[in-house]
Structure 1
Amino acid sequence: MASTAVQQTEMKAETTKAEEPAKVARHQEVGHKSLLQSDALYQYILETSVYPREPEPLKELREVTAKHPWNLMTTSADEGQFLGLLLKLINAKNTMEIGVYTGYSLLSTALALPDDGKILAMDINRENYDLGLPMIEKAGVAHKIDFREGPALPLLDQMIQNEELHGSFDFVFVDADKDNYLNYHKRLIDLVKVGGVIAYDNTLWNGSVVAPPDAPLRKYVRYYRDFVLELNKALAADPRIEISQIPVGDGVTLCRRVY
């Protein structure tokens, strides 16, 4: 779950200095974004399959991010592992990331790409990206990343005007403002190559996609819920893509462009 202005403002307002240590501790011990109903089962996955294979720079970045008051916005370690394997399976080289936060998914991507691979990374908040930059540099992959601060849509519109960029991306990861996901999709479908993959994060949105109308939801969860529902419906009906919605992290929908 990467940076959005609405979410950051509301999470700031809901988190006091006195609450921060307790919230961080809960996140590290049992709190997580996985929709698995058992904390013990999720912890088993982490300790058996994820943490033993997690590169040291990713571990350091995860631990630094856990101390941030908005730590639930980060990509989970199991999702980062999944993305890294997926990128290798499709032999991705030229990629894009919309929504970076402190860069856990970005570093996962950079580590999975070949040495001459590239990531165009966009986020509205450079301060958060700078928090993770030392670990990215330590991993020796900073040269793969072209970070752009600011909203993504204006840059995407510029790219669409350049026909040479059409079909030039192997993979795109979207983890930003949910109210613009469909706007991103309208542009990205031309920028990703046929056979390429677009991954949309948070498509199960804290499980709220099946919550009753009167369910007690946090304000930012309720605000974005309808946008996520609209996205899921649109992706399922889009004949240009094959999709698979995967219950890892907060839900990831993979879209493979077929034409």
Structure 2
Amino acid sequence: MSSRTIQVTDTLHRYLLEHSLREPDVLQRLRAETAGMAERNMQISPEQGQFMQMLLRLMGARRCLEVGTFTGYSALAMALALPEDGNVVTCDRSEDYTAVARRYWSEAGVDDRIALMLGPAAESLATLEAREGGGGYDFAFIDADKTGYADYYERCLRLLRPGGLIAVDNTLWDGRVADDDNPGEDTMALRAFNRAVHADERVDLSLVPIGDGLTLARKR
């Protein structure tokens, strides 16, 4: 029994991976390729990807939305957890990074389940809302520019059905959100976002200490 979350040391993290992670080969290889890139820290951890897959399966999710594709690991993890008629709409600005994503989606045989919208995410989300209306998505994952989180959250909330779930990455920000001596723009944006979601009565809330902090907000 413990009254607080256990500290995850490097040794315990290795144990966690050895006794929990069931990462398909295609995801392993995508993660390995991304590890050689300058922006490798933008990729989610494999245990977080597996946790999100569990959430999708528990929800019986069919339609997912993602803000921030990068090299496509999270989109691929989600697509692999969906039924054959499920789909992921993912938004990103980078043609280079998403070209890597497309290769692995095709290799995994789920490229027909993933629709990539290239361009500013706010514009892509506005296009989706204008085209489809609200309430059509089961799950949304936000992992993009931190100063845009508040706007992405509001747009995703409108696109989500009642009972749907928004997952927001990096909300613990390597501990910097709790460090008053850190005035960085991204840190300040995340602090403001965390305060706003904590006070948002439209959702049920849990901030989970997995990866770099994952906020789960269920639309009431």
Per the TM superposition, whether the score is higher than 0.5 is yes
Aligned residue for 1:188?
A: 156
2:188 is equivalent to residue 226 of structure 1: yes
Aligned residue for 1:128?
A: 97
1:36/1:42 contact within 8 Å kept: no
Identity of matched residues, %: 39
**Taking structure 1 as reference, are residues 125 and 36 closer, same or farther at Cα in structure 2, changes over 3 Å only?**
farther
CA RMSD of aligned residues (A): 1.5
Distance 2:127 2:177 in 1: 33
2:37 alignment partner, one of 45, 68, 74: 68
Give the number of the structure with larger relative contact order, counting CA–CA contacts within 8 Å between residues 6 or more apart. 1
- TM-score w.r.t. the length of structure 1 is 0.80
1:207 alignment partner, one of 155, 175, 194: 175
| Deviation for aligned residue 1:109 | 0.3
Deviations 1:49-79 (A, max 9, x none): 11xx111110111111111121111011010
Matched ranges for 1:99-178 at <5 A:
99-162=68-131, 164-178=132-146
2:91/2:124 contact within 8 Å kept: no
Aligned residue for 1:84?
A: 53
1:200/1:254 contact within 8 Å kept: yes
Distance 1:165 1:36 in 2: 43
Distance 2:108 2:128 in 1: 29
Q: For this pair of structures, how many residues does the alignment match?
A: 215
Unpaired stretches in structure 2, ≥5 consecutive residues: 1-5
Aligned residue for 1:244?
A: 206
Q: Secondary structure at the match of 2:206?
A: strand
2:170/2:212 contact within 8 Å kept: yes
Deviations 1:109-152 (A, max 9, x none): 01001111111111111211111322221111010011011111
Deviations 1:221-257 (A, max 9, x none): x220010001111001111100110000000001100
Q: Secondary structure at the match of 1:203?
A: coil
Deviations 1:143-190 (A, max 9, x none): 00110111111122233334x431000000000011011111222211
